[in-house]
Structure 1
Amino acid sequence: MSETPAHTELPAENTSVLPAEPAPGNEDVIDGETHALEWHAPVLVRIDEHTTIPHLLAKRVQRAPRRPLIARKLEMGSTWQNMTAAEFYEDVQTTAAGLIGLGLNYGDAIAIMSRTRYEWTLLDFAAWTAGLLPVPIYETSSGEQIEYIIKDADVRAIVTETVTQRELALDACHRLGKDDITVLSLDAEAMQTIRDAGITVPRASVAARTQALTTDTLATIVYTSGTTGRPKGTEITHGNFTELALNSHAWMPEIAMGQDSRLLLFLPLAHVFARFLQVFQLSGEGILGHTPDIKNLLSDLATFKPSYLLVVPRVLEKIYNSADAKAGRGGKQKIFRWAANVAVEYSQALETPEGPSRRLKMQHAAATRLVYSKILQLVGGNAHYIISGGAPLSQRLAHFYTGLGLPVLEGYGLTETVGPLSVNTPRLSKIGTVGPALPPLSVRISEEGEILIKGPSVFRGYHNNPEATAEAFTEDGWFKSGDLGSLDRDGYVRITGRAKDIIVTAGGKNVAPASLEDPLRGHPLISQVIVVGDKRPFISALITLDPEMLQLWLQNHGLPPMSISEAATNIEVLSALERAVERANEHVSRAESIRKIHVLTSDFTEANGLLTPSLKVKRKAVLQRYAEVIDSIYGGPVQSE
């Protein structure tokens, strides 16, 4: 009897990587420009029910068992040691046997609470191989949050990174009356304990668990970071992961299908995007590394030499602002800013039929020698692409990085879509968009302007929450993203803001905060910004200062060092912020423009409850925390009708 194929390649005519035409009559003309109302990405790879996550790993091992799959940094020094596919597979099998030996039954939930490190990836794949349900917990979670996840997911075992986290988890278990839950710590020989438990477990038992999995089997429950209300447990199946991973490889083989592909993972593995990336990278042909401590990121990038980077826009903003500030004043700063302008012009020229002029090419070559080469070395000197997501990136910054030789492929995704939903491709990147939908997803724009999604990587529902699940879908089965946007004729998605964040002024003007906040966040002095003005006569903004960049900015402007509190009322700092606001206002109507700002004396952080673990601002919490400040801007609270 022949083996069922892992996946079936479609005929050549169905594997085109060029955008398909929208269906006739399925487009509209807005302001003289053609927009699609619905977009269906081509299906490039079909999978069968056996194409689970462990199956993808097994296929990788079969293709090249002796080729490196994982690179682990040695504890001493900056050397990375390669682990072959066969060695990683053996570690997964041994660990899976240990998890079974601990008494975990098929389908049981095991929580992982740790920073991004090799052991997380090992536990993830071992849990899947043993037919278990790995559930991530952010390492910064409170006791209350840990307790909620343990109860909601019916967790049967927990592996934490530190002994302190283990104590938090044990306390949560005691409060729930669940003293039979196994709680281990990586810092206290958790992996050895697990391996020891598997010594008497036959490999046939592990294989039976793995073979029982199908694409419909639940692979994980990811709890949303909760910018509003209590987090919801997003149920994601093996098929959600594998169909997206295989089609993403077919859609963009340049990223991870080459043997020279190298990804250094530093995003939190508690976040679904990082979880998808590990599956994506390990099912390709390249190598995966981990960086637990973000403080070591630049040195780790320099030694690991990734071929592509996955970042949030704030990282790109900080690199640019830091490079500009470190150039100092005078001649060096003039050279840097000249080079930055050349990079932007060069990238913009690449989008024209004529391309860069001879003069611009000469300037670009000179700027490469003087400036760009140094920035490229900061990220290892081997990166070919930057994939940016999580928040909008300013078009100027996207052009800057693309112009210096690091094309930015901006993307968009949600926990409910296993991370990436759309992304610009190396072949055609439209700066200002988040690219076309990844195959085989479909995107539609509702009459209200909301982005709707349908396809195999869309989650199956919220755990133990049928009401929220029903509310998340339209009657005909499209997932409601909550984001507002549009589609151009080629199917490229533009995001204009969150539906729930839209501000309606007292004059009835609808304002999307993101269109003002995103340009301002790129200023070196600004850490965070929240636009306010709902039911108010005009728009204002709360601004926090970046403590790291503040001192460099003051030094470069000939000003003495000062605290955040002092800077918040300093006339020169305020003047710089007002100029930044004026530039942001140029892109909106007067009714949408910011009229007043208030500089706060403390930043938004995860510790003070104003940022999610994935570094998104909890807008509702900020508005509640600073309600009196907002009232003072307008001379009092909103007048009730």
Structure 2
Amino acid sequence: MEAAPQVGGLADAVFDHASATPDKVVLGCKDASGVWRDVTAAQFRDQVLGLAKGLIAQGVRFGDRVALMARTRYEWTLFDFALWALGAQSVPVYPTSSADQVLWMLHDAEVTACVVEHEDHAMTIGSVVDRLPRLQRLWQMDAGAVEQLTEAGAEIDDEVVHRHRRAVTPESVATVIYTSGTTGRPKGCVITHSNFMFETDMLVGRWESVFHSKPGDEASTLLFLPLAHVFGRMVEVAAIRSGVKLGHQPVLQASALLPDLAAFRPSFILAVPYIFEKVFHAARRKAEADGKAGAFDKAADVAVKYAEALELKAFGLGPGPSAALRVQHQFFEKLVYTRVREAMGGRVRHAMSGGSGMDRRLGLFFEGAGVTVFEGYGLTESSAAATANPPERTKYGTVGMPVPGTTVHIAEDGEVWLRGGHVFSGYLNNPQATQAVLKDGWLATGDLGSLDADGYLTITGRKKEILVTSGGKSVSPAGLEERVRAHPLVAQCIVVGNDRPYIAALITLDPEAVEHWLAIQGRPPLTPAELVRDPVLETEIRRAVVAANTLVSQTESIRTFRILAHPFTEEHGLLTPSLKLKRKAIEQAYATEVDALYA
């Protein structure tokens, strides 16, 4: 697939769509009463233009960096495209960032203005503003920032914005996205307009057919991934450039997300494995509460077998589902599978998953339940996806094949190297770190993987996360952790064992799942301290560990584990904003518990 010649910048799509199809609905926006309202291409263009004029009136200039600190919401996309229309660069900041993290990013990026969501964010900025001499402006979304800026720019001629916009080239910097920092200080990835154009146009060109619930219907997606993360940002850009109707949802909790999925009814979604795990476990808990756990488990097994048969057929290795399996599958369609799809809004038939590894069985279950989940892989440094499973031949348990225009190479030590138009230009103010990852046009990812005979990539771990026991055995923790986490009662798992005689694990619990599990058994609620000592619970978690150990040799297996009373949280500095484990921080925080595993 050839990439179209790139011209201009990302904001051009807003104006082009408004000229070509002014009345087409391109976004959905919730009003103050919580009702979804349609936004046409012409309305969005007018809002972007008005906001861009306001930013110019308030002193934002071509090449300036402006921080965006907010949850996923309509105004973020509005600010993104207004900034790109005048050639400014947006610097996303996670809304949960600490004052110290904010200080580092805004200082490193030499940010001149900042947009925050609400007063708490404004106070975070305010606590470090005396050490940010370049920061001149601060606007607050919840205090009417869009309206104030639009009013401030009302007297500026539209042509002023267009002159700025025409000066933007594909090589212009669009955004500086800071890595989540599992080790050390976050590094600013410099992403150009060209990087995002290449990435999104290649993805849309290859996967556009799966954006629809059925041929010919309106394509729409509800974005609930954080816009401070490259995955969410790629979805935003791809939707606006391709005319897919885009909605925003700021809360990942099921209680807030599920009603919006039902109201917005997206035709496809993009998510992290955590979301698919939540949907599956919530469906199973409901079945168990209704006394139908046995039927649900049987339906899950049938879905997996059905999907495996389809997978084998796609690769020319089998005839497809047998007649008996098709009958069983049809039986559970209305009973179970329809309800699983209804939990995602009812129209979703395809989804994309990234950010971390997805359990093969979970992917097969969703395929059998009528939702094909295309797992992909990428980094901030590759402007999101570099590989993804193709629509016609999904191979579960892998992260698919290179996205068109991308080349994947496995180095001698097993490291995954990437090449393509989406690879970033380097880290801001950090030539040493840039040289460490960019090698003759290749991006050395730091991830370990393998390519199979069909060209599908499997990620096996991180180079920096390989554990080496005192006996010299190298162990990649990712697969073990993923399998333990597949148990409905488990929230998180971290495998330890570096310079130790054997592998062990720290495990946290899902409070909602545990509460349900106790109720099903007719037992009263237990305190966290009681839970970690509960022998019945320990037996249940041991099953998850035994299942994980079937994946590896005896020397690589988890010999012992400790259940922890509280989950690892971002607030305690144990998770990155994208929910990745900060291994060193966790091992330091739980040094006593780790030592006890080897006592």
Confirm or deny that 1:239 pairs with 2:204. Answer: no
How much does 1:74 deviate? 2.6
Aligned residue in 2 for 1:325: 285
| SS of residue matched to 1:159 | strand
Separation (CA, whole Å) in 2 of partners of 1:164 and 1:329: 39
How much does 1:59 deviate? 3.0
How much does 1:331 deviate? 5.0
What does 1:422-433 correspond to in 2, within 5 Å?
422-433=387-398
Aligned residue in 2 for 1:282: 240
Determine which of 85, 90, 112 is the counterpart of 2:41: 85
Aligned residue in 1 for 2:221: 263
Aligned residue in 2 for 1:417: 382
Distance 1:269 1:330, change over 3 A: closer
Aligned residue in 2 for 1:404: 369
Separation (CA, whole Å) in 1 of partners of 2:441 and 2:389: 26
What does 1:460-499 correspond to in 2, within 5 Å?
460-474=425-439, 476-499=440-463
Confirm or deny that 1:67 pairs with 2:16. Answer: no
How much does 1:582 deviate? 0.9
Aligned residue in 1 for 2:261: 301
Can you list the C-alpha shifts for 1:214-251, whole angstroms capped at 9, x where unaligned?
11100000011111100000000000000111121211
Separation (CA, whole Å) in 1 of partners of 2:151 and 2:227: 26
Aligned residue in 2 for 1:623: 587
**Structure with the greater relative contact order (CA < 8 A, sep ≥ 6): 1 or 2?**
1
How much does 1:623 deviate? 1.3
Question: 2:106 is aligned with what amino acid?
Answer: I
How much does 1:256 deviate? 4.3
Confirm or deny that 1:292 pairs with 2:247. Answer: no
Separation (CA, whole Å) in 1 of partners of 2:543 and 2:566: 22
> What is the aligned residue count?
589
Separation (CA, whole Å) in 1 of partners of 2:170 and 2:102: 28
Paired residues of 1:47 and 1:243 also in contact (CA < 8 A): no
Paired residues of 1:436 and 1:492 also in contact (CA < 8 A): yes
| SS of residue matched to 2:68 | strand
Aligned residue in 2 for 1:226: 181
Question: Hey, which bits of structure 1, 4+ residues long, moved more than 4 A?
Answer: 256-259
Paired residues of 1:547 and 1:564 also in contact (CA < 8 A): no
Q: Which moved more, 1:57-66 or 1:120-129?
A: 57-66
TM-score (ref. length: structure 2): 0.96
Separation (CA, whole Å) in 1 of partners of 2:161 and 2:444: 39
Confirm or deny that 1:105 pairs with 2:61. Answer: yes
Confirm or deny that 1:437 pairs with 2:402. Answer: yes
Determine which of 343, 347, 361 is the counterpart of 2:303: 343
Separation (CA, whole Å) in 1 of partners of 2:160 and 2:24: 28
Question: 2:411 is aligned with what amino acid?
Answer: S
Aligned residue in 2 for 1:34: none
Separation (CA, whole Å) in 1 of partners of 2:346 and 2:267: 9
Aligned residue in 1 for 2:340: 375
Aligned residue in 2 for 1:386: 351
Question: 1:145 is aligned with what amino acid?
Answer: Q
| SS of residue matched to 1:351 | helix
How much does 1:425 deviate? 2.0
Separation (CA, whole Å) in 2 of partners of 1:354 and 1:210: 55
Aligned residue in 1 for 2:573: 609
Question: 2:90 is aligned with what amino acid?
Answer: P
Can you list the C-alpha shifts for 1:609-634, whole angstroms capped at 9, x where unaligned?
11111111111111111122211211
Can you list the C-alpha shifts for 1:507-550, whole angstroms capped at 9, x where unaligned?
11110101100011111111110001111111100001111111
Can you list the C-alpha shifts for 1:29-49, whole angstroms capped at 9, x where unaligned?
xxxxxxxxxxxxxxx22323x
Separation (CA, whole Å) in 1 of partners of 2:125 and 2:290: 55
Separation (CA, whole Å) in 2 of partners of 1:587 and 1:364: 28
Can you list the C-alpha shifts for 1:145-192, whole angstroms capped at 9, x where unaligned?
1111111111111111101211221222223345x6111111212112
Separation (CA, whole Å) in 1 of partners of 2:121 and 2:383: 27
Separation (CA, whole Å) in 2 of partners of 1:256 and 1:53: 21
Separation (CA, whole Å) in 2 of partners of 1:346 and 1:413: 29
Structure 2: give runs of 5+ residues left out of the alignment: 313-317
Separation (CA, whole Å) in 2 of partners of 1:288 and 1:450: 36
How much does 1:559 deviate? 2.8
Question: 1:71 is aligned with what amino acid?
Answer: G
Separation (CA, whole Å) in 1 of partners of 2:319 and 2:17: 43
How much does 1:259 deviate? 5.8
Aligned residue in 1 for 2:315: none
Question: 2:154 is aligned with what amino acid?
Answer: I
* Seq. identity, %: 43
Determine which of 203, 215, 225 is the counterpart of 2:170: 215
Separation (CA, whole Å) in 2 of partners of 1:363 and 1:614: 39
Aligned residue in 2 for 1:153: 109
How much does 1:492 deviate? 1.3
Aligned residue in 2 for 1:76: 33
Q: Which moved more, 1:281-290 or 1:556-565?
A: 556-565
Question: 2:247 is aligned with what amino acid?
Answer: G
Aligned residue in 1 for 2:479: 515
Separation (CA, whole Å) in 1 of partners of 2:181 and 2:302: 41
Aligned residue in 2 for 1:96: 52
Separation (CA, whole Å) in 2 of partners of 1:247 and 1:506: 46
Can you list the C-alpha shifts for 1:345-378, whole angstroms capped at 9, x where unaligned?
1101112331111111111111011111111111
